[in-house]
């Protein structure tokens, strides 16, 4: 190898090394360092989550309309069952944008002929945006009202429902709407996984859930999370945790 080739080779290597190093470091961000948390199994709450229901009591909950101790049933297996007619339950604390984990189980056995009466409940983010809960395993109904629907607004992308009597999970990312006084600045968005499967991909919420007519927004700040009491075959919950996320 001639001296000329050797020198040009070294120059070329230096040029590319120097070039890539300078260019790449310019776009490296080193702070703030993300807080270290302990995450374990997908269904186990990470260390920075707020545990809303751990199977022991209703200490984080009150009845939806009367702010009393919920009359739902706590079971020996660490779950709770909706008692129809006693009303929905809501968290004592209010939330904005959140990551939420909820596990739920529909009823085994004879089904109601009306599809919407088979273990109907729902998770209402900020008391008004419903992620539908229903036994949607071979229980056809209007698709924007089946399990995983943002009720009457967005049908789930797929039906990943398990059989009646099997525990299921929702993992939710909810971005709270933003208002300037009464004016909507930014709508709410949902991303939802049911049993680990993506069923809602950053869908835009059109307003508060309504069963009749079209949804519309009413300006609000942080509000509680509500679990619905809907007349139906029993529905149980367990392992509910939430993480606040910054907007
Ligand atoms: Mg419902």
Q: What is the mean pLDDT of the chain?
A: 92
CA of 211 to the centre of ligand 1 (A): 10
Q: What is the pLDDT of residue 36?
A: 82
Q: What is the pLDDT of residue 35?
A: 84
CA of 2 to the centre of ligand 1 (A): 80
Indicate the pLDDT class of residue 18, thresholds 50, 70 and 90. low
CA of 122 to the centre of ligand 1 (A): 4
| pLDDT tops 90 at residue 7 | no
Fold classification of 34-244 (topology level) = Jelly Rolls (2.60.120)
CA of 134 to the centre of ligand 1 (A): 7
| pLDDT tops 80 at residue 11 | no
Q: Half-sphere exposure of residue 218, counting CA atoms within 13 Å on the CB side?
A: 9
Q: 171, 195 in Cβ contact below 8 A? A: no
CA of 143 to the centre of ligand 1 (A): 13
For the entire predicted model, the pTM comes to 0.88
Q: What is the pLDDT of residue 51?
A: 98
Q: Half-sphere exposure of residue 118, counting CA atoms within 13 Å on the CB side?
A: 23
Q: What is the pLDDT of residue 42?
A: 74
pLDDT digits 0-9 by tens, 61-115: 999 999 999 999 999 999 999 999 999 999 999 999 999 999 999 999 899 999 9
CA of 200 to the centre of ligand 1 (A): 17
Q: Which residues surround ligand 1, an ion (CB under 5 A)?
A: 120, 122, 132, 228, 230
Q: 6-10, 84-88, 165-169, 177-181: which has the minimum mean pLDDT? A: 6-10
CA of 18 to the centre of ligand 1 (A): 60
CA of 27 to the centre of ligand 1 (A): 47
Tell me the β-bridge partners of 99.
Answer: 173, 243
| pLDDT tops 60 at residue 41 | yes
- Per-residue b or e along 67-103, where b marks 16 or more CB atoms closer than 10 Å to that residue's CB: eeebebeeeeeebbebeeeebbbbbeeebbbbbbbbb
């Amino acid at each position: 190898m001639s001296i000329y080739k050797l020198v040009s080779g070294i120059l070329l290597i230096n040029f590319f090394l120097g070039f890539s190093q300078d260019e790449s470091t310019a776009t490296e961000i080193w702070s703030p360092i993300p807080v270290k948390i302990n995450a374990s199994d997908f269904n186990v709450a990470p260390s920075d989550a707020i545990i809303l229901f751990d199977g022991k009591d209703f200490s984080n909950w009150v009845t939806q309309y009367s702010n009393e101790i919920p009359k739902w049933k706590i079971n020996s297996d660490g779950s709770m069952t909706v008692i129809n007619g006693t009303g929905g339950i809501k968290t004592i604390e209010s939330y904005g944008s959140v990551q939420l984990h909820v596990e739920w189980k529909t009823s085994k056995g004879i089904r109601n002929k009306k599809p919407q009466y088979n273990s109907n409940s729902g998770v209402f983010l900020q008391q008004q945006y419903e992620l539908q809960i229903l036994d949607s395993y071979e229980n056809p109904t209007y698709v924007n009202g089946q399990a995983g629907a943002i009720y009457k607004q967005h049908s789930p992308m797929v039906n990943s429902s398990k059989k009646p009597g099997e525990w299921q999970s929702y993992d939710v990312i909810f971005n709270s709407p933003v208002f300037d006084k009464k004016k909507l600045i930014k709508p709410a968005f949902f991303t939802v996984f049911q049993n680990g499967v993506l069923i809602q991909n950053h869908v835009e919420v059109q307003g508060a859930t309504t069963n009749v007519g079209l949804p519309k927004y009413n300006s609000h700040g942080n509000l509680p999370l509500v679990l619905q009491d809907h007349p139906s075959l029993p529905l149980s919950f367990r392992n509910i945790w939430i993480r606040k996320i910054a907007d």
